[in-house]
């Protein structure tokens, strides 16, 4: 079955102004359940825009986003927010963890917000941290962790509420090659383990080649390869 379908997505910024940018010109994509798709594009091509639209953080000017079989077009803000929280996990280039909270707390909090009990949330947080090899950092704040550890915690947080789709925007873009490899391997193992679908933007063609397939964003269109 299909986890995500994008149908003819169009997006223009600053329409009608001299600064108008036509970023997406009719992008279509289908991500099957359990499929991991690489989104490859040069900087400025519109990767973040496309991921934000797919993840219901932004709306398209035209086209449809179908998530878990449900057409998200025209939903109220409240329903879109609810669908995003239930269905989508995000990982960015920078971890965006809450600095005042420990690694475990950063994974527990979104679960509490989702109605999970404290004990269950803690248990899940520890299991996630363990699965990416940073359980020993559970009680540390982000500032006490390395970049690779922070990013692995961010991956755990994205999966805290068991989304059906993971969207990642250059998740290893800030890291040196060795650390990048560790984070990517941990992310892929966790995604495969949970049977999650993922759309992962990367500049790195070596990483892209390890996913199920690649799509390229070029001149506002999505093309295979
Ligand atoms: P990428 O993630 O591939 O680097 P983005 O989606 O961030 O690309 O941006 C694509 C283009 O749209 C860029 O030219 C960027 O400057 C422009 N852009 C992105 N967001 C906005 C915005 N909110 N307002 C105006 N222009 C924007
Ligand atoms: P990235 O390329 O890592 O996504 P950016 O610095 O391009 O990061 O964008 C960060 C944020 O700023 C995004 O939310 C994007 O939509 C917004 N943005 C990017 N370019 C512009 C722009 N020219 N005008 C206004 N907002 C922009």
Torsion angles phi and psi, residue 81, rounded to 5: -65, -40
- Per-residue pLDDT tens digits for 90-127: 999 999 999 999 999 999 999 999 999 999 999 999 99
pLDDT at site 74: 87
- Per-residue pLDDT tens digits for 151-202: 999 999 999 999 999 999 999 998 999 999 999 999 999 999 999 999 999 9
The answer to whether ipTM exceeds 0.85 is no
The contacts of residue 121 (CB under 8 Å, 6+ apart) are 107, 108, 111, 112, 160
The contacts of residue 140 (CB under 8 Å, 6+ apart) are 102, 103
- Does the CB atom of residue 202 touch ligand 1 within 6 A? no
1, 21, 116, 127, 168 from 150: Cα distances, Å: 33, 34, 24, 16, 15
Nearest protein Cα to ligand 1, atom 26: 13
Torsion angles phi and psi, residue 218, rounded to 5: -140, 125
With 0-12 / 13-18 / 19 or more C-beta atoms within 10 angstroms meaning exposed / middle / buried, residue 162 is middle
The rounded distance, in Å, linking the Cα atoms of 111 and 1 is: 26
pTM of the predicted structure, to 2 decimals: 0.90
pLDDT at site 225: 82
Atom of ligand 2 nearest to the CA of 21: 23
Please compute the mean of the pLDDT values over residues 131-137 and round it to a whole number.
96
Calculate the average pLDDT of the chain.
96
């Amino acid at each position: 079955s299909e986890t995500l379908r994008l149908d003819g997505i169009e997006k223009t910024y600053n329409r009608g102004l001299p600064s108008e940018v036509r970023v997406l010109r009719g992008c279509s994509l289908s991500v099957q359940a359990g499929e991991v798709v690489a989104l490859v594009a040069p900087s400025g091509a519109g990767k973040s825009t496309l991921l934000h639209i797919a993840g219901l953080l932004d709306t398209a000017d035209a086209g449809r986003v179908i998530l878990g079989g449900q057409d998200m077009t025209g939903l109220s803000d409240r329903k879109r927010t609810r669908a995003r929280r239930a269905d989508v996990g995000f990982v960015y280039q920078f971890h965006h963890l809450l600095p005042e909270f420990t690694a475990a707390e950063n994974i527990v909090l979104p679960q509490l917000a989702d109605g999970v009990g404290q004990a269950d949330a803690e248990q899940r947080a520890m299991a996630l941290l363990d699965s990416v090899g940073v359980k020993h950092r559970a009680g540390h704040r982000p500032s006490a962790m390395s970049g690779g550890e922070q990013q692995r915690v961010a991956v755990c947080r994205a999966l805290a509420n068991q989304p059906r789709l993971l969207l990642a925007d250059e998740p290893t873009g800030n890291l040196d090659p060795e650390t990048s490899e560790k984070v990517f391997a941990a992310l892929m193992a966790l995604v495969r383990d949970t049977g999650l679908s993922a759309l992962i933007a990367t500049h790195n063609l070596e990483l892209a080649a390890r996913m199920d397939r690649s799509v390229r964003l070029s001149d506002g269109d999505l093309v295979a390869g």
